[in-house]
Chains A and B, each alone.
Chain A
């Protein structure tokens, strides 16, 4: 009976359609996947490089600032006096914008992704 069932299944197995069109479609899809994979790999490499650059720049600038402060100790202005200054907020906002904008400009659309043909 076991062999009979096996034979019956084999005899009545459905036959898939012509494999040519299937293979062609598969090849086209695989090529598209390759393209997306390559793009993704490129993006990962660029993001990694960007983080390394920003990290190194932070390290160098931080080190330079620390060295400068150690070598040139000065009496820091009173915080309350600084807050009262009419230049405080414009300078603080401009400083923040520069700190955020410079790495973005340097690395070109760090936070955006666009498929380049």
Chain B
């Protein structure tokens, strides 16, 4: 894979990858740093990419592993609610959106890493269960279990939010 080919493939996935990492760790600078690391690692290993999986699945798997490595080595705080970048929400009802965003991240921020990642990949990035399983390197059954549990947590928060 040439550099130009890699850049064109990476550009298509860039926004989605950065959004996923930003949702996962909550800090925009940290998320971008992890995304850069992931893309560099992917470029270095691009000769081993044989196209057995989709490029996006492969890239997200590398990024998730980078996030886990960073989490282990530097003990980054996940999904902090005070990070200004994590509160940037598009839309007309900015204040309301921000409030809901905080609520959502409070709800999912307490979940274990894999459960949170599974939720974000499935609901936010619209990835099918099979792809989520490939990214997180766990069986599809475990992903379904994570989603069921995570869904329950989010439902509780959504209901609380509705009753406000």
Stretch touching chain A among B36-44, B52-60, B62-70, B129-137: B36-44
**Chain B CB within 8 A of A30 CB:** yes
Assembled-state Cα–Cα distance A45/B10 (Å): 30
Q: Which of A6, A17, A23 contacts B123 (CB 8 A)?
A: A6
Interface residues on A, range: 20 to 34
Assembled-state Cα–Cα distance A8/B32 (Å): 24
Chain B's interface: helix, strand, loop or mixed, by majority? helix
Are B40 and A16 in contact, CB atoms less than 8 angstroms apart? no
Assembled-state Cα–Cα distance A14/B40 (Å): 23
**Chain B CB within 8 A of A34 CB:** yes
A2 to B, closest residue via Cβ: B151
Are B43 and A30 in contact, CB atoms less than 8 angstroms apart? yes
Task: Name the distance in Å between B120's Cβ and chain A's nearest Cβ.
Answer: 8
**Chain A CB within 8 A of B35 CB:** yes
**Apart from the given pairs A5-B151, A16-B32, A23-B11, 6 other A-B contacts in the complex at a CB distance below 8 Å:** A8-B154, A9-B104, A10-B124, A12-B89, A12-B97, A14-B23
